[in-house]
Homo-oligomer: A and B are copies of this chain.
Amino acid sequence: MKSRQFIQSLEKGLMILKVFSGSRASLSVTDIAGSCGMNMATAHRYLFTLKELGYLEQEAATRRYRLTPKVLKIGVAALNTMDLKNRLLPHMLETTKTFDVTTQCAILDDTDVVVLDRVRSREVVNWDIGVGSRLPVYCTAMGKAILAFLEDEAQTGLLQRIRFERHTRHTLGTPEELQADLARIRDSGYVFSDQELTMGLRSIAAPVFRNGRVEGAFGISYAVNRANEAGLESALVKQVLQIAAKVSF
């Protein structure tokens, strides 16, 4: 039983918006009613309301609904209130320029890291994640950087909720492997991740602190074949640590 304070109509409305995130672009009343377990009349009322408010639009022909750019407004506000991004951005630009690597910053949300911003290297990679995308903590450099320095209770809770999935042959598969890795990371202060999420891609990351607590992470990614360049990776590690230290407090 929910608290007396809980407003169910709001939950339903947001549930509908969320369904759009998971599924395809355009959905019909029936689709929504089905996937939310609502009566069709109910689903229709909510869709109608969201349309009125401008968060959804309806194709005239098919009567199907799709998200409008207005929904972005809400999320982007959240992004901009994260000053981690603002503190890091100049360093990201500079690092990308100097080493021609992709730099990014991210924060934790449950068992995912959320990419706040990224500066792309000039080399076009087949792989491209965007601002706001989510990646699993346990197989990303930034994820592990944050995880390693999380408060104990938060960390153990989180570790239990992780559902391990093998993305490449380098992906860690068990909590134990991850624990061991985290211990190593705590020692060295940074993460070196070799193709744990995507084949062909390496990353280096370090945590950023705010008042002594992990706030997020700074990371860089580059193609494996660049490992040949003499001294590159050690320079990158140095760079990552230096920047993470500079913006931490």
Interface residues of A (CB under 8 A from B): 2-3, 5-7, 9-14, 17-18, 20-22, 24-25, 44-46, 48-50, 52-53, 55, 66-81, 85, 89-90, 93-94, 96-97, 107, 109, 114, 117, 119-120, 122, 124, 128, 130-134
Contact = CB atoms under 8 A, between A and B. Distances in A.
Contacts of A20: 74, 77-78, 81
A74 B71 contact: yes
B44 A14 contact: no
Contact of A10 (B5, B10, B114, B122): B10
The 6 closest A-B pairs by CB, nearest first: A75-B75, A21-B77, A9-B9, A76-B132, A10-B13, A25-B81
23 contacts: A6-B52, A7-B46, A9-B9, A10-B13, A10-B46, A13-B13, A14-B74, A18-B74, A20-B74, A20-B78, A20-B81, A67-B78, A68-B78, A69-B114, A70-B109, A76-B130, A76-B133, A79-B130, A90-B124, A93-B120, A97-B124, A117-B130, A132-B132
A50 B75 CA distance: 14
A77 B67 CA distance: 8
A131 to B, nearest CB: 4
A84 B1 CA distance: 44
Contacts of A89: 128
Contact of A48 (B6, B12, B49, B132): B6
Nearest to A13: B10
Given A7-B46, A130-B131, 20 more contacts: A3-B48, A3-B52, A9-B10, A10-B13, A10-B46, A11-B49, A20-B74, A21-B76, A21-B77, A68-B78, A69-B78, A69-B109, A71-B74, A71-B77, A72-B78, A73-B75, A76-B131, A96-B122, A120-B120, A132-B132
